[in-house]
């Protein structure tokens, strides 16, 4: 049994994780621990949300599950620190969790993109422009070019979590660009797992969403070989065999 623990901010789309457990089968457990802060999509609040003491609390809550790896399931609360700061954040989470492998959703995006050989992407962000730009910069540091980026200025994660599946699909589909090799949706507050295959069929290209890549990253950290036909083209790549480069 492979157990991957996720530190998840507040409450919004955490039901993507039990859904993934069902889709991936009985060999994978994906427990979620919640930490709490202001869910505002604003830089000072996001820096506070990803602070070391908050992630350490998440690691403590996950300890009872004896995870093989742990992932900070928050994109904006990781990329807002910049690439080096996000590395330090992950190192601190690993230490708090007893030295097990750790990562975050921001690194999950860059690792997933590298595994798929993506060089040019479009981004459909729920965030305000200043926060969305920081995600584009984070991708750029990893050598991934953002050829188009939309920001929807949704103030809080709770508002994103209340979006209907139809609204999510429309938001994502409307942001496709012909020269983008894939479309990225960077918000773990958005329910997307059940929509990925449909969106990929509609757009004819890979779609990488926050909860999807976060779960895949956890599998990669544990050396899992699990694949699935139900969670997008990313999950057709055995995580343990992915070539992701350095973090």
Q: Which domain holds residue 167?
A: 111-208
How many domains does the chain divide into? 2
Flag whether 222 is in a domain: yes
* Amino acid 168: pLDDT: 74
Residue 156 pLDDT: 62
pLDDT band at 236 (very low <50, low <70, confident <90, very high): very high
**Domain-located, residue 58:** yes
Q: Any idea which of 6-10, 137-141, 240-244 has the lowest mean pLDDT? A: 240-244
Structural contact between residues 154 and 127, judged by C-beta atoms closer than 8 angstroms: yes
Residues 94 and 170 in one domain: no
Quickly state the pLDDT bin for 153 (edges 50, 70, 90).
Answer: low
**More confident call, 243 vs 119:** 119
CA nearest to 71, candidates 231, 196, 185, 211: 211
Q: Output the domain CATH number for residue 31.
A: 3.40.50.12500
Let me know whether 123 and 196 are in one domain.
yes
The per-residue pLDDT for 238 is 87
Q: Are residues 189 and 237 in the same domain?
A: no
> Is 55 part of any domain?
yes
Q: Do 7 and 33 share a structural domain? A: yes
62 occurs within a structural domain? yes
| Residues 183 and 231 grouped into a single domain | no
Q: Are residues 218 and 103 in the same domain?
A: yes
Read off the pLDDT of each residue in 171-185 and give the average, rounded to a whole number.
87
pLDDT value for 177? 86
Q: Give the span between the Cα atoms of 220 and 225, in whole angstroms.
A: 8
Could you tell me if 16 and 100 lie in one domain? yes
Does a structural domain hold residue 35? yes
The Cα-based distances of 25 to 29, 139, 153 in angstroms read: 9, 31, 37
Q: Is 161 found in the same domain as 103?
A: no
Helix or strand or coil: residue 195?
helix
Pair of tokens at residue 27: 């060999």
Q: What is the pLDDT of residues 29-61, one digit of tens each?
A: 999 999 998 776 789 999 999 999 999 999 999
């Amino acid at each position: 049994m492979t157990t991957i623990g996720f530190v998840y901010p507040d409450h919004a789309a955490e039901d993507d994780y039990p859904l993934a457990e069902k889709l991936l089968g009985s060999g994978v457990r994906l427990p979620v621990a919640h930490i709490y802060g202001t869910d505002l999509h604003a830089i000072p609040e996001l820096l506070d949300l990803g602070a070391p003491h908050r992630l350490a609390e998440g690691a403590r809550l996950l300890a009872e599950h004896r995870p093989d790896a742990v992932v900070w399931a928050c994109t904006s609360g990781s990329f807002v620190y910049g690439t080096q700061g996000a590395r330090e954040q992950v190192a601190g989470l690993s230490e708090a969790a007893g030295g097990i492998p750790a990562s975050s959703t921001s690194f999950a995006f860059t690792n997933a993109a590298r595994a798929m050989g993506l060089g040019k992407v479009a981004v459909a962000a729920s965030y305000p422009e200043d926060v969305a730009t920081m995600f584009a910069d984070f991708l750029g540091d990893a050598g991934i070019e953002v050829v188009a980026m939309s920001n929807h200025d949704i103030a809080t994660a709770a508002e994103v979590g209340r979006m209907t599946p139809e609204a999510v699909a429309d938001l994502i589909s409307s942001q496709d660009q012909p020269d983008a090799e894939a479309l990225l949706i960077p918000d773990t507050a958005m329910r997307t797992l059940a929509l990925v295959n449909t969106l990929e069929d509609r757009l004819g290209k890979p779609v990488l969403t926050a909860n999807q890549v976060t779960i895949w990253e956890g599998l990669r950290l544990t050396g899992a070989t699990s694949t699935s036909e139900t969670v997008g083209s990313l999950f057709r790549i055995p995580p343990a065999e992915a070539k992701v480069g350095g973090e």
